[in-house]
Structures are given as C-alpha cells and as structure tokens.
C-alpha cells in the first residue's frame, strides 16, 4: 500500500496546525497514526502505508518523568525510513483521550486517543452491572468523545426492554441501543455513528461481544471471537492488545482488551455529567456547603428518604467522587512536573530536529 491519504485516517486541521507549532514544514518529519501498540513496538500508518516504528531514544528514554508516549489512535511525527522501521519523534496533542488509573504505579494509563464516539458495551445477561456502567460512563464523558451505550446479546434476553429502561433512567441523554450481532436486530440504529473518517473506541468487559460486533459492522470475520461461560456469564479474553482497525467503509474502530476493573483518572467533569441529577439536587440544599448528612433542609437526604434517589446510586456517586479526588491529587502533581518539563522538552525536540536535518 502506498500514497495513503492521511485525511482518511482522521488527520484533520486540528493536527495539521501542530506541524507549524513545532516547526515541521520541510518534510524531514511526516505525520503518522498509531494503529497498534505491543510493548515498545508500534505499527503506524503514513503516506507510504503501514510501517513498523520505534521511539527516538534521546527524546523518550531519558531522565524526564513526564514524557508522553504514543498510544493507539495517536498522531505522531516520524522520520521515514525506506529500508526499515520509522522513528517516532513527537506525539501530537490529542482531541480526546480515554485513560484509567494504573493502580500498581498510581499513574495515568492511556487506553485510546483521538476518537469521536465511545461505545460502552455490556451484555444483556449477568454482566449487566449498573454501577460499573456508571463508572465507564463517567470516564467516557470526561474523554471528549460522545458516549453510546450498546447492550449486546439481545437474542439471549427476551425481556430486554426492562433492562434497557433501567439503563436509560440511569444514563439520561445518552443513546442506548440494544443489538444482536447474531440476528442483526438493532444494528440499524448504530449506522449513524459508523461513517468514513470517524473513530469509535469499544470499551467493555471480556465476553460482551465486542469482537462479534466489529465483525458484524465490517461484514467479515476480522476479529477472533470467543464465547462466555454460561454459569456466570463471564467472558474469555479475545483481544489481547489495543489496535485500530480500518473498515472498508472508512470507519475506524479501536478495540481494547476487556476490563473488569476500571480505575478512575481525572473524571471530575465526567462524574458531574453522569450524576447530573444528584448535582442538581445538591444545589437545592439549604446550605451551600451541605455535606448531605445531618444538616436540615438537605435536598439529597430528602430525595433518599422519599425514594426519589436510590441508595445504590448515591453510594456509587460517593465512591466514585472519592476515587476521582484521589486521582485528581495525582494528576495535579503530574501537571506541575509537566509544566516544569515542557520548555526543556520543546527545546530538546527542536535541537534534535535540527541535528537530523544536517
């Protein structure tokens, strides 16, 4: 493959403008999109087609703590090598980003970037967990993409309307689509999001039907499919790494490994949107600094007593808020370090670029 038009891969004016910002104009570096990541090996798409790529050692492997590493979906500047793998010099600013907390290192782990829609997939069986869906929804709202909840395996759930109604009452304003990849029912509703040059990230637990849906949309078996255990509806891992797939119709899909646990990272705004009903109740409290405990005139407490707000939803809201506050402290510390490193990193990048032109 050659003479690839990067616009087809979503290379919009948002990214093109960054070539001027970083002084890229003489074709010494060219834009590329990362379509697969396996440890330190990257697969990219450039105007010359699909290539392997590695990182510029002096820019990525140094003592600085806040280097931005490429993730699936990222646009990067690379030095083309006709005889081997290209070299990645710079990760461009992202228009959207889905992150989670790496609980082991207590740092941000970027899952996918530069997408338009977030398909939150959960199957209509034991996997349907509203608390977990609220967690995914908060992260989706924060990401910058538009969330769409997709209820899979419709053919296995005769009373799916009841489940769909519960999800819709929890996710006000979010499209909720029940589908069956086996029968094709409900797929027509998803077509409005499946269009050329748009990118969709698929998120969900193992075995919810992500790979089956990709295959159905693509019209062919491009993804390996595994079933679920009937006794507990838990899935087997099919996708083992993140990858961006270009379909024949020009739609791009980022498939991710199934995640049963999602540690929150920087989701303050996402939680406010997901739990807008609770945020609205809080504004009606008698005291502005109401802790929603024993204070008189507490609108939240009154809604709980009347059954207008479920205890489960309230408790999940509190739990996610605490997690978000923890992540925010980590993020603020990270931002302070990034601010100090920015000018130093930009200067080093420009020096390395000048050296490469000689």
Q: Which parts of the chain are beta strand (E)? A: 30-38, 41-46, 49-55, 75-79, 86-91, 97-102, 107-113, 117-123, 146-152, 176-178, 199-204, 243-246, 252-255
Supply the CATH number for residue 159's domain: 3.40.50.300
164 and 278 in a common domain: no
- 211 forms beta bridges with none
Q: Is the pTM of this model over 0.75?
A: no
C-alpha–C-alpha distance, residues 197 and 213, integer Å: 19
Residue 201 lies in a domain: yes
Phi, psi of 257, deg, nearest 5: -60, 150
C-alpha–C-alpha distance, residues 147 and 94, integer Å: 18
Range of the domain at 309: 268-334
118 and 66 in a common domain: no
Last-in-domain residue among 77, 93, 109: 93
161 and 78 in a common domain: no
184 and 172 in a common domain: yes
Q: Is 69 helix (H, G, I), strand (E, B) or coil?
A: coil
The three-state (H, E, C) secondary structure of 195-241, written as one string: CCCCEEEEEECCCCCHHHHHHHHHCCCCCCCCCECCCCCCECCCCCC
84 and 24 in a common domain: yes
C-alpha–C-alpha distance, residues 284 and 282, integer Å: 5
Last-in-domain residue among 93, 110, 125: 93
* Both structure tokens of 115: 């997408």
Q: Number of structural domains, the chain?
A: 3
323 and 307 in a common domain: yes
Residue 261 lies in a domain: no
Last-in-domain residue among 204, 227, 255: 255
104 and 216 in a common domain: yes
245 and 145 in a common domain: yes
Supply the CATH number for residue 36's domain: 2.40.50.140
159 and 230 in a common domain: yes
Contact 117, 130 (CB under 8 A): no
242 and 159 in a common domain: yes
Show Cβ contacts of residue 88 under 8 Å, excluding neighbours closer than 6 positions: 32, 42, 44, 53, 54, 55, 56, 60, 70, 76, 77, 78
- What count of Cα atoms within 13 Å lies in the side-chain half-sphere of residue 201? 30
15 and 114 in a common domain: no
One digit per residue, the tens of pLDDT, for the chain of length 358 reads 456 889 999 999 999 988 777 666 556 789 999 999 987 899 999 999 999 999 998 888 876 667 889 999 999 999 999 899 999 999 999 999 887 766 555 667 788 999 999 999 888 876 677 888 888 888 888 888 999 999 988 888 888 888 898 888 888 888 999 998 888 888 889 888 988 999 999 887 767 777 778 888 876 544 444 444 444 444 443 444 578 999 888 999 987 765 445 555 555 666 767 777 887 888 888 888 888 887 888 888 888 888 888 888 887 777 777 776 665 665 555 555 555 655 566 666 666 666 666 5
43 and 132 in a common domain: no
Number of residues in the chain: 358
Residue 357 lies in a domain: no
Residue 355 lies in a domain: no
């Amino acid at each position: 493959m050659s003479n690839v038009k990067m616009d087809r891969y979503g290379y919009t004016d948002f990214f093109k403008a960054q070539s001027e910002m970083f002084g890229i104009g003489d074709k010494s570096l060219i834009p590329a999109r990362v379509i697969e990541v396996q440890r330190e090996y990257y697969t990219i798409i450039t105007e010359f087609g699909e290539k392997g790529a590695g990182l510029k050692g002096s820019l990525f492997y140094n003592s600085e703590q806040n280097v931005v590493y490429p993730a699936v979906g990222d646009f990067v500047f690379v030095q083309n090598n006709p005889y081997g793998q290209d070299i990645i010099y710079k990760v461009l600013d992202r228009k959207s980003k889905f992150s989670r907390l790496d609980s082991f290192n207590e740092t941000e782990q970027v899952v996918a970037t530069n997408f338009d829609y977030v398909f939150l997939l959960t199957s209509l069986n034991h996997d349907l967990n509203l608390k977990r869906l609220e967690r995914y929804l908060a992260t989706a709202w924060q990401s910058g993409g538009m969330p769409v909840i997709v209820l899979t395996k419709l053919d296995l759930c005769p009373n799916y309307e009841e489940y769909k109604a519960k999800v819709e009452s929890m996710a006000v304003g979010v499209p909720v689509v029940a589908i069956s990849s086996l029968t094709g029912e409900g797929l027509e509703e998803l077509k409005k999001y499946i269009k050329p040059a748009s990118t969709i990230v698929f998120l969900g637990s193992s075995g919810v039907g992500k790979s089956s849906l990709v295959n159905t949309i693509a019209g062919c078996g491009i993804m390996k499919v595994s079933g679920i255990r009937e006794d507990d509806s838990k899935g087997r891992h099919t996708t083992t790494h993140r990858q961006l797939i270009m379909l024949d119709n020009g739609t791009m899909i980022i498939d991710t490994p199934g995640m049963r646990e999602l540690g929150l990272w920087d989701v303050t705004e996402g939680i406010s949107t997901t739990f807008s009903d609770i945020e609205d109740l809080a504004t009606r409290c008698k005291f502005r600094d109401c802790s929603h405990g024993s204070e008189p005139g507490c609108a939240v407490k009154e809604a709980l007593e009347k059954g207008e707000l479920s205890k489960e939803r309230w408790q999940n809201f509190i739990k996610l808020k605490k997690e978000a506050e923890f992540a925010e402290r980590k993020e603020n510390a990270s931002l302070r370090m990034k601010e100090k490193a920015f000018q130093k990193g930009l200067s080093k990048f420009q020096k390395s670029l000048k050296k490469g032109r000689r």
